[in-house]
Amino acid sequence: MKTRWYKDAVIYQIYPRSFCDGNGDGIGDIKGIISKLDYIKSLGVDAVWLSPVYKSPNDDNGYDISDYRDIMDEFGTLDEWKEMLDGMHARGIKLIMDLVVNHTSDEHAWFVESKNNNSEYRDYYIWRKGRGKNGKKPPNNWTSNFVGPAWEYDEASGEWYLHLFSKKQPDLNWENPKVRQEVADICNYWFDLGVDGFRCDVITYISKTDGLPNGKLAIPFIGWEKYTMGPRYHQYIHELNQRSFSKYDSMTVGESIGINPDNAFESIDESVEELDSVFSFDHMGVDFKFNIFPKKFDLKKYKKILSRWQQLPKTCQPTIFLENHDQPRSLPRFVGECKDKRELAGMSLAASILFIRATPYIYQGQEIGMTNCVFEDNDYMDIMSIRVLQTLKKRFPILLPYARKVLNLRARDNARTPMQWTGGENAGFSTAKPWMKVNPNYTEINVEDSEKRQDSLLNFYRKALAYRKGKEVIINGDFALVNPKDKDVFAYSREYDGKRLLVICNYKNKRVKFKLPKNISFNKANLALSNYLDSLTTPKDTVLREYEALVYELE
């Protein structure tokens, strides 16, 4: 039976490689996570989404899986994983695993077998003859999401295989019923071990247009419209739901490029029995054109995007996130240069997302206000950053200075620097040299220091999460933007069964006027949460201070 527990849940994302090293080899691992379970519990979160920990050659840090039923050596053993799961459950924390099944690693036994033309596994992947004389041109013009063509030629069989990511991540052929059954079996294997749900990696890419036609020329990838939300997407996900998800009190969240408020109903409404929720990325595009070229952050647009999700029927559960392992840090991304007001800014961002109707996700380090890092070419560890630099060095060196600037702002590496636990050596992440650069600001930004101060961002998150818990007006209330045209302030109201909430967040590092709209009337107001000690106890026309955030209950 589904309790839909996720409607009142906050989820904490762990990127295991960068969270905590438990055995002193410089790489985060399961032992490290176990040692931090009390910390995770102390935040007040209800579940953890753990990025992949399965066996993997790590071409894309675990998003290339070579064995779906076992744990990566660097991260530990299946027994340690079980201990971690028990430790979470004992603390009332659920575990969401990452399900990466658009592709496998090229070192997965299926793919190794599949290279043999006559194998029954051949059809587990997408093999095609090439175009042109001798078939030496790829079967179509699609490009990989990681730079370069989406096809790799295999000498031995004289055919090409499709890889929408790196060539070490061949795409599975979901048209093959055996593949779909394998995926359901994998999910059930982990459900039977006790996991509570899955975050489904690039799940909207699984169904490709029949005949794999050429895509239209586009930035940043070619072919996107031919494989995103393809013809049998709904059929396959519904089938997976029936074979697996629906049998457990689970939660699923898709990484769902291509699902937007207009088509969300047919993808996540409870009645369709597909996924329970999805991540969409439109609000992450507000300050990057085509996801790569920086542009000015536009709060009005951002508010509009988020509020469209809020208007969906209550049987569709939105999600909200500001960070994950693929995105740069939210500070100062969405709030401008915050300088000495970094934590106030983090609080304003937190308050603006934690009380809308959604399942919020908090990414490791967000709760202490970790920021982007400055990288030199050799510091980059992410395959995407490395490929961009390699390609430009070889083919367009003239673009390098610009690319370096953009990478520093946009690279996924920004989110992957080791978690900053203390001001001590290696930020307390490891006793050995960490696998990637530690952000030098760890001496100032770290958990140890945040714990000491009552007024830290960390403690604000704790207060906000405790406040949220169980409140119907937050879980189910109607949402309305307040002053939607305001370029500086993100304000909204929630209403449920006579109870109202008014949230006012200044996104700017300056004082700004706030006008309370006439239609917001009340007899009594109670200031439930704010990030200044002496905030107004009753909302009215006022001047908000830098990054001031206010949450009122109205009667």
Q: How far is the CB of 294 from Ca ion (least distance, A)?
A: 35
Shortest Å distance, C-beta 40 to Ca ion: 18
The interface region with Ca ion, picked from 17-25, 238-246, 273-281, 508-516 by CB under 5 A, is 17-25
Report the residue closest to ligand GLC, judged by CB: 63
* Least distance to Ca ion, CB of residue 367, Å: 22
Distance CA 359, CA 336 (A): 26
Task: Dig out the tokens for 99 from the structure.
Answer: 């399900």
Q: Work out what residue 546 binds among ligand GLC, Ca ion, none; the CB cut-off runs from 5 to 8 Å by kind.
A: none
The smaller minimum CB distance to ligand GLC, of residues 163 and 226, is found at 163
What letters, b where the CB count within 10 A reaches 16 and e where it falls short, cover 338-368?
A: beebbbbbbbbbbbbbbbbbbbbbbbbbbbb
Tokens 């304000």 belong to residue? 491
Size of the site for Ca ion (CB under 5 A): 5
Residues 16-75 that bind ligand GLC (CB under 6 A): 60, 63
Q: Site mask, ligand GLC, residues 299-338, x = CB under 6 A?
A: --------------------------xx------------
Tell me the closest approach of the beta carbon of residue 49 to ligand GLC, in angstroms: 11
CB of 532 to ligand GLC, least distance (A): 36
Q: For residue 139, what are its two tokens? A: 């079967």
Q: Note the Cα 290 to chain centre separation in Å.
A: 18
Nearest-angstrom CA–CA distance, 57 and 46: 31
CA angle 166, 169, 174 (to 5 degrees): 130
Taking CB within 5 to 8 Å according to partner kind, which of ligand GLC, Ca ion, none is near residue 23?
Ca ion
Q: Among 11, 14, 20, 27, which residue sits at the site for Ca ion (rule: CB under 5 A)?
A: 27
**Is-catalytic flag, 201?**
yes
CB of 64 to ligand GLC, least distance (A): 7
Number of residues that bind ligand GLC (CB under 6 A): 9
DSSP line for 360-381: EEEETTGGGT-------GGG--
> What letter would DSSP give residue 205?
G
Q: Pick from 2, 7, 8, 23: which binds Ca ion (CB under 5 A)?
A: 23
Contact between 432 and Ca ion by CB under 5 A: the answer reads no
Closer residue to ligand GLC, CB minimum distance, 255 or 323: 255
| Window 218 to 257, contacts with ligand GLC (CB under 6 A) | 255
**Mask: binding to ligand GLC, 92-131, rule CB under 6 A, as x and -?**
--------x-------------------------------
Pairing of β 47-50 and β 94-99:
parallel
Of 19-27, 240-248, 260-268, 325-333: span binding Ca ion (CB under 5 A): 19-27
Residue 7 to residues 271, 316, 398, Cα–Cα distance (Å): 16, 10, 50
CB of 53 to Ca ion, least distance (A): 12
Given 165, 221, 421, 507, the residue binding ligand GLC (CB under 6 A): 165
Q: Residue 519 belongs to what H/E stretch?
A: none
Burial 244-282 (b: 16+ CB within 10 A, else e): bbebbebbbbbbbbbbbbeebeebbeeebebbbbbbbbb
Cβ neighbours around 26 below 10 Å, total: 17
Contact criterion met (CB below 8 Å) for 65 and 104: yes
Contact of residue 163 among ligand GLC, Ca ion, none (CB under 5-8 Å per partner type): none
Residue type, position 178, single letter: K
Partner in contact with 12, chosen from ligand GLC, Ca ion, none, beta carbon below 5 to 8 Å by kind: none
Give the one residue of 10, 17, 21, 381 binding Ca ion; rule: CB under 5 A. Answer: 21
Query: What secondary structure does DSSP assign to 393-405, as a single string?
Result: HHH-GGGHHHHHH
Nearest by Cα to 334 from 293, 290, 371: 371
Per-residue tokens: 409: 């702002």
Question: Distance between CA atoms of 491 and 69, rounded to whole angstroms?
Answer: 46
Cα 314 from Cα 325, distance rounded (Å): 29
Which of these is catalytic: 21, 64, 196, 201? 201
Our CB check for ligand GLC shows the closer of 17 and 325 to be: 325
Nearest distance in Å: CB 20, Ca ion: 9
255 binds, among ligand GLC, Ca ion, none (CB under 5 to 8 A by kind): ligand GLC
**27, interface contact from ligand GLC, Ca ion, none, CB < 5-8 Å by kind:** Ca ion
Q: Which residues are catalytic?
A: 201, 255
Q: Which residues bind Ca ion (CB under 5 A)?
A: 21, 23, 25, 27, 29
Q: Which residues bind ligand GLC (CB under 6 A)?
A: 60, 63, 100, 165, 201-202, 255, 325-326
